[in-house]
Copies of this chain bind each other. A is one copy, B any other.
Amino acid sequence: MLNSSGKHKDIFLGIDGGGTKCKAIVVSADDQILGTGISGPGNPLHGFEQATNSIVESAQFALKDAGLANTPLSEVVVGIGLAGVNLPVLFEQMSAWQHPFKEMYLATDLLIACLGAHQGKEGAVMITGTGSCGFSYVDAKSTIVGAHGFPHGDKGSGAWFGLQAAKQVLLALDGLIEETAMSKQLLKLLAVDNDVALVEAIAGKPATYYAKLANLVFDAAENGDVIARDIVNEGSEYINSVARKLSHQKPPRMSMIGGLSPRIQPWLASDVQAMLSPPLSTPEMGAVLFAKQQIALT
């Protein structure tokens, strides 16, 4: 392991700034992970100051974890992937940041996730966590499918599964559709026992709240609940269509990533399952690989 008096120019920071947390790694010249750090929300969509604070904090945590607490950020190159920087206004705002690093290379969260999944090579990813989207990077060209947000987009995401379940439970409580086991399980999870209380619990809640209900829907579907199965089939059919759309770009590899992926993957169509390979590393590592590629280009 390097120590604080060591060769700082040989280490790199990789940061994935997401909507709920910011994850950082510090790696050696040969991409060995020396330390990791996690801080709060790092997505500039929800505020520039909070995002930049989280980025700096996660970097410091990772350096400390690597035994490099005394290394100045001004001596370390960083690759950062952030949601939202596909919007020109946010890319400019983040690029204009008087950051404390030696150099900063900025990419979208989607690109670093894709580079991470394919060890820096081209390919495609389908991401299903709180949100959902598809992304391919082929012939140095990015293609995004979805990534529209909640509730108008993000079909097949954790938030979408949770909202669909809540809708069906409300219909069941109104006696408009059959009540299944999933209804009782959802009411129990939210500690409510009628429609008015359920509405009070869910009204105005963000995507992250609904996403917490997604595992319940998959549990119910796997136990044969017909309402849950219809929801899971509809969400999976959307993910199938995203994968088939991305396959038109002829990505050398395709992976599924995100917290909900292990639940959805078994429900996908066999032609889609056959397209998928396991992700090789994390988005944070993808951020490191992105920074190194940018340096090599200059």
**A188 on the B face (CB < 8 A):** no
Check if B146 sits within 8 Å of A174, measured CB to CB.
yes
Check if B241 sits within 8 Å of A199, measured CB to CB.
no
Check if B176 sits within 8 Å of A152, measured CB to CB.
no
Check if B245 sits within 8 Å of A152, measured CB to CB.
no
| A interface residues, how many (CB within 8 angstroms) | 28
Check if B86 sits within 8 Å of A175, measured CB to CB.
no
A145 to chain B: which residues have CB within 8 Å?
174-176
**A151 on the B face (CB < 8 A):** yes
Check if B245 sits within 8 Å of A196, measured CB to CB.
no
Q: How many Å lie between the Cα of A174 and that of B199 in the bound state? A: 32
Which residue from B153, B170, B238 sits with its C-beta under 8 Å from A152?
Answer: B170
Check if B163 sits within 8 Å of A151, measured CB to CB.
yes
**A140 on the B face (CB < 8 A):** no
Check if A166 sits within 8 Å of B152, measured CB to CB.
yes
- Knowing A151-B163, A170-B152 are in contact, say whether A242-B176 is a contact too (CB < 8 A): yes
Copy number in this complex? 2
Check if A152 sits within 8 Å of B199, measured CB to CB.
yes
Q: How many Å lie between the Cα of A241 and that of B241 in the bound state? A: 31
Which residue from B148, B151, B199, B238 sits with its C-beta under 8 Å from A153?
Answer: B199
A170 to chain B: which residues have CB within 8 Å?
148, 152-153
A270 to chain B, nearest CB (A): 20
Check if B167 sits within 8 Å of A152, measured CB to CB.
yes
- Knowing A163-B151, A163-B152, A167-B152 are in contact, say whether A174-B245 is a contact too (CB < 8 A): yes
Q: What are 28 A-B contacts defined by CB distance under 8 Å?
A: A86-B196, A87-B196, A87-B200, A145-B175, A145-B176, A146-B174, A148-B195, A148-B199, A149-B199, A149-B203, A151-B151, A151-B163, A152-B163, A152-B166, A152-B167, A152-B170, A152-B199, A152-B203, A153-B167, A153-B170, A153-B199, A155-B167, A155-B171, A174-B245, A175-B245, A176-B238, A176-B241, A176-B245
